[in-house]
A and B are shown apart, each in its own frame.
Chain A
């Protein structure tokens, strides 16, 4: 046996992760894709046949709800990502540049603390704050500032507020690591050469932190477009996303084949957006693809 054919130690270390990826992503996804092209379950139903009708149902959308659900899913994902970035970046920058180790530890704990509570619990907490008889509306009505409750929940606004709260820590943690590795002296050098604080940030720190922005944004976007519990509880009649439709097809319409087709469509559209986003950021950074 030659040395080239022998697996390297790194390959052995990567193997468990690769196996997990194949077992818990590639294989289920392949089964889901295969199911999406069948009329029923071919394992338990011998009459199941190959068909493209589930994709046709989505593409032609005679029901008039599927395209809107896809757009709604992507819109909520994009808005949540942008707001999480706007909130998360300054916080991550502050954390990364913090001199006090105790201060850094305390802020880190504050960022991580909400993640120790389940998503359902956090969503219910937002419900008690934003609903018509919630803390905000009740207080404003008691003070006589409003007569009718403000529409804070049962709509896209409430859904995005709760999603941002849930996913900001992912953005902050991703960005902190990247910004922390940027040599602060580069920014100091820019300033010593005459750049103002803002220009030094825009021309030095921000471009160098683009990999973090990309990673954090992709993480938050992926989590937001696949969110089910929060849009279901916060959205009321106004919000219908693809994950909600998928759960509906599996759990109450008992049509896993159409659910599979919706899953494949969501993944393909998301991948297209991710590739486009990657290229735009790479162009802004003046380099090649970043992920």
Chain B
């Protein structure tokens, strides 16, 4: 027979175990999704609205890394227990990641149902993972310098713009890399005509080069350059801010796609949740919120944007057809040679 004292002692012991163990049990039940995401306005909206709503709906916590670059961190983490479950980068980095087996090669509507509603470019053969948004890379220009709105990529080579045109340090910036390929298309036989591209690049000197788009935005806003390669979002997001005399032009040869791509790491322990997150990011309401916050063109065809966004972003099949997607697999395979060549061309 159990004595009263023994029963009390046993009860107290069980209560203590329960009290100590409860947080870990609770923790075990709450899954954590590890993602990468951008900072700035995008990061603000994600942290304030998008991610809390996802956490509430899927009863999980999201750990978001905004400290770029992400791929080197993924490279050194274990493939069986990767540092991220969902990798958000531009398209060319996804191609680097898939070569090393760090992300999935393809994601279909079976795993992410909203893929059924995306434009074809979002899951084309130029994409590893799924595109959730895209920007259009074209030409940003000052409207107060007596320039006519550029209609061709060739307008950047106008002698009047010597020293007042802007581009990117090609080895470190995907807009610069995409622009180099576009020079091959405009001046040569196509995106892969590197000889024509190198020659055209040489003709753009003197040119001011920066390593990230934020710096190009700053150079345009301060009139340090009168025209430069930039994505539409980098110009449109200043709309209404002190009436900046800066505008964006889509050259007739086409605009280059700067895709925002999500992908899942093969070793993720919460793969279902990772797919659910991508599906959530493709929902029309989430797409609308983010698209209007940062002027990104949504990948989901069903998204209806406010008129002022709809007028400028790629929201119809006709406008989407002007997008040119670079072959990053091809580019990355030649990257070392290209980096060396363009560095020599642009130095001095």
- By a beta-carbon cutoff of 8 Å, the part of chain A in contact with chain B is 41, 43-45, 63-65, 128, 131-133, 149, 154, 232-233, 236-238, 240, 247-248, 250-254, 256
Q: A132-B163, A240-B347 are in contact. Are A254 and B72 (CB under 8 A)?
A: yes
> Number of B residues contacting the other chain (C-beta, 8 Å)?
34
In the complex, how many angstroms separate the beta carbon of A232 from the nearest chain B beta carbon? 6
Chain B residues whose C-beta falls within 8 Å of the C-beta of A63 in the assembled complex: 336-337, 339-340, 343
- Cβ of B222 within 8 Å of any chain A Cβ, yes or no, is yes
Chain B residues whose C-beta falls within 8 Å of the C-beta of A154 in the assembled complex: 208
Q: A65-B340, A132-B163, A237-B346 are in contact. Are A251 and B172 (CB under 8 A)?
A: yes
Could you tell me which residues of chain B, from 306 to 348, have a CB within 8 Å of some CB in chain A? 335-337, 339-340, 343-344, 346-348
Q: How far is the CA of A260 from the CA of B96 in the complex (A)?
A: 19
Chain B residues whose C-beta falls within 8 Å of the C-beta of A64 in the assembled complex: 340, 344
The segment out of B17-25, B73-81, B103-111, B241-249 that lies at the interface is B73-81
Could you tell me which residues of chain B, from 130 to 163, have a CB within 8 Å of some CB in chain A? 163
Chain A residues whose C-beta falls within 8 Å of the C-beta of B100 in the assembled complex: 45, 254
Query: Is B347 in contact with A237, judged by CB distance below 8 angstroms?
Result: yes
Query: Is B75 in contact with A41, judged by CB distance below 8 angstroms?
Result: yes
Could you tell me which residues of chain B, from 159 to 174, have a CB within 8 Å of some CB in chain A? 163-164, 169, 171-173
In the complex, how many angstroms separate the beta carbon of A247 from the nearest chain B beta carbon? 8
Q: A44-B76, A237-B347, A248-B171 are in contact. Are A253 and B224 (CB under 8 A)?
A: no
- Cβ of B211 within 8 Å of any chain A Cβ, yes or no, is yes
Query: Is A44 in contact with B209, judged by CB distance below 8 angstroms?
Result: no
Render B101-139 as a binary contact track against A, CB cut-off 8 A, 1 for contact: 000000000000000000000000000000000000000
Q: How far is the CA of A248 from the CA of B215 in the complex (A)?
A: 17
The residue that A65 contacts in the complex, of B71, B209, B344, with Cβ under 8 A, is B344
The residue that A41 contacts in the complex, of B76, B173, B207, with Cβ under 8 A, is B76
Q: Which residue of A lies closest to B205 (CB)?
A: A237
Q: How far is the CA of A44 from the CA of B79 in the complex (A)?
A: 7
Q: How far is the CA of A237 from the CA of B170 in the complex (A)?
A: 10
Query: Is B211 in contact with A232, judged by CB distance below 8 angstroms?
Result: yes
Chain A interface mostly helix, strand, loop or mixed?
loop
Chain B residues whose C-beta falls within 8 Å of the C-beta of A236 in the assembled complex: 208-209
Most chain A beta-carbon neighbours within 10 Å: one of B78, B79, B169, B344: B169
Complex A-B: 20 CB contacts under 8 Å: A41-B75, A41-B76, A63-B337, A63-B343, A64-B340, A64-B344, A65-B347, A132-B163, A133-B223, A149-B163, A237-B209, A237-B347, A247-B172, A248-B171, A252-B69, A252-B172, A252-B173, A254-B71, A254-B72, A254-B75
In the complex, how many angstroms separate the beta carbon of B160 from the nearest chain A beta carbon? 14
In the complex, how many angstroms separate the beta carbon of B326 from the nearest chain A beta carbon? 15
Q: 5 closest A-B pairs (Cβ-Cβ)?
A: A63-B340, A251-B69, A237-B346, A252-B172, A133-B224
11 extra interface residue pairs, beta carbon distance < 8 Å, beyond A63-B339, A133-B223: A41-B75, A43-B78, A44-B75, A131-B222, A132-B224, A133-B222, A236-B208, A238-B348, A252-B172, A253-B171, A256-B76
Q: Which residue of A lies closest to B96 (CB)?
A: A254
Query: Is A44 in contact with B171, judged by CB distance below 8 angstroms?
Result: no
Most chain B beta-carbon neighbours within 10 Å: one of A149, A237, A238: A237
Q: How far is the CA of A116 from the CA of B114 in the complex (A)?
A: 50
